[in-house]
């Protein structure tokens, strides 16, 4: 201790134990919830066991929730929309957690802070918990621990979990493995995007909200709506009982937001009623299980000393076509298995 009573620089922060953290999360302590998320996002091996214990305990306290993925191109208005939607959700007497995943920043926290600033009103509300995370270069713009973070937020009692992701091709497919409903945000007049990459996103969307339909954009917005509706009709149905709608919204004016929320809750009622929600979540847990097994195997494989010794040589032979990639992979695999 220094004279000011502060611990000396570099001293380890006191880490609360598992009991304290779990108790805090279940009791709605957002500071401890944040600490727990930081812990599960940590790459440090010494944090892993603790975070697994926390997750195990939290999973036993699962509460019902609505998990929504909000996806769309950068600048489509996702954060602003979530801020507006959050107000509607709170007015309905519900609480919400927002997981804003920033794909751009590995290091800089610039745009993450931008997202939180865009949700300024929401971040001041006691009913809302906003957690920005970097995707750390993880494929597809989701944080590698998004699913686990959702579990913690549910244990903390948040009724609605909103996951903001940038639709960059892979992320929306991945977000499908952890949310109940996917809302795709599109700018007015972006219909020609549909030809290429956006088609994949549209296929998994449960509703589309056209954003920023205010000011000069108002005119082309209804034309866009017709275009998107036509495009949706060309795609195979995701659920036989669900008709995907296109909404005209403006977060600035607050228009269309309520309608989107009713659409989501209507969907959830149907999914709960027909038992599909339970089935979907079971499937998502199965997906997570095997995803984690794959991750662990991969890590073990590349850390295996016998593999390491051979790896560079095999790689050289493969890239110079002396050895087929198939034989190369088998040799590395054999080395890995022998060591185990
Ligand atoms: N006119 C108008 N601008 C909006 C609206 N929603 C968002 N914006 C603006 O669009 C820009 C991008 O919004 P943001 O929510 O950060 O988009 P994100 O990247 O998809 O999260 C910001 O400058 C917002 O102020 C809207 O409803 N109307
Ligand atoms: Mg954003």
- For the beta carbon of residue 123, count every other beta carbon within 10 angstroms: 15
Q: Is 77 close to ligand 1, i.e. is its CB under 6 Å away?
A: yes
HEC profile for 215-232? HHHHHHHHHHHHHHHHHH
Task: State how far the Cα of 83 lies from the Cα of 213, in Å rounded to an integer.
Answer: 16
Which pair of structure tokens corresponds to residue 144? 């590698």
CATH 3.40.50.2000 given to domain 1-61: no
Atom of ligand 1 nearest to the CA of 166: 20
Domain ranges (residues) in the chain? 1-61, 62-274, 304-339
Residue 98 CA to ligand 2 center (angstroms) comes to 11
Which pair of structure tokens corresponds to residue 84? 């507006």
263-316 pLDDT per residue, tens: 999 999 999 999 999 999 999 999 989 988 998 899 899 999 999 999 999 999
Q: Is 250 close to ligand 1, i.e. is its CB under 6 Å away?
A: yes
When the pLDDT of each residue in the chain is averaged and rounded to a whole number, the result is: 86
What's the whole-number mean pLDDT along residues 100-106?
63
Lowest mean pLDDT among 16-20, 45-49, 79-83, 283-287: 45-49
Pocket test for ligand 1, best of 69, 80, 87, 186 (most atoms within 8 A of CB): 80
| Domain 62-274 classification at class level | alpha beta
**pTM assigned to the model:** 0.87
Binned at pLDDT 50, 70 and 90, residue 120 comes out as confident
Q: Is 214 close to ligand 1, i.e. is its CB under 6 Å away?
A: yes
Return the axis-axis angle of helices 30-41 and 18-26, rounded to nearest 10°: 130
Best-predicted range by mean pLDDT (36-45, 102-111, 206-215):
206-215
Check residue 39 and give its pLDDT.
93
Pocket test for ligand 1, best of 69, 71, 77 (most atoms within 8 A of CB): 77
Question: In the chain, what percentage of residues exceed pLDDT 70?
Answer: 83
Task: State how far the Cα of 154 lies from the Cα of 96, in Å rounded to an integer.
Answer: 10
Atom of ligand 1 nearest to the CA of 80: 15
């Amino acid at each position: 201790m220094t004279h000011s009573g502060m611990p000396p620089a570099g001293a380890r922060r006191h880490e609360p134990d598992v009991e304290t953290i779990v108790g805090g999360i279940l009791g709605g302590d957002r500071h401890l919830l944040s600490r727990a998320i930081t812990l599960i996002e940590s790459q440090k091996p010494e944090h892993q066991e603790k975070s697994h214990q926390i997750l195990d305990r939290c999973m036993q306290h699962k509460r019902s929730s609505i998990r929504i993925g909000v996806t769309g191109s950068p600048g489509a208005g996702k954060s602003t929309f979530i801020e507006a939607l959050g107000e509607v959700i709170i007015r309905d007497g519900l609480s919400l957690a927002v997981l804003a995943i920033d794909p751009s920043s590995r290091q800089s926290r610039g745009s993450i802070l931008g997202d939180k600033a865009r949700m300024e009103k929401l971040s001041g509300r006691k009913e809302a918990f906003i957690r920005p995370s970097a995707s750390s270069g993880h494929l597809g713009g989701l944080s590698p621990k998004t699913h686990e973070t959702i579990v913690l937020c549910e244990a903390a009692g948040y009724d609605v979990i909103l996951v903001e992701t940038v639709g960059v091709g892979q992320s929306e497919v991945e977000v499908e493995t952890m949310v109940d409903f996917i809302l795709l945000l599109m700018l007015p007049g972006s219909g020609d995007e549909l030809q290429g990459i956006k088609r994949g996103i549209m296929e998994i969307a449960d509703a589309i909200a056209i954003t920023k339909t205010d000011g000069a954009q108002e005119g082309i917005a209804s034309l866009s709506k017709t275009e998107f509706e036509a495009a949706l009709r060309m795609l195979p149905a995701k659920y036989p009982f669900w008709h995907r709608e296109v909404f005209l919204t403006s977060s600035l004016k607050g228009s269309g937001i309520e309608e989107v929320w009713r659409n989501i809750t209507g969907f959830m009622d149907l999914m709960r009623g027909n038992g599909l929600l339970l089935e979907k979540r079971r499937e998502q847990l199965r997906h997570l299980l095997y995803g984690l097994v794959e991750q662990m195997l991969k890590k073990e494989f590349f850390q295996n000393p016998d593999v390491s010794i051979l790896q560079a040589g095999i790689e050289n032979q493969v890239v110079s076509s002396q050895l087929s990639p198939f034989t190369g992979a088998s040799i590395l695999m054999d080395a890995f298995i022998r060591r185990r």
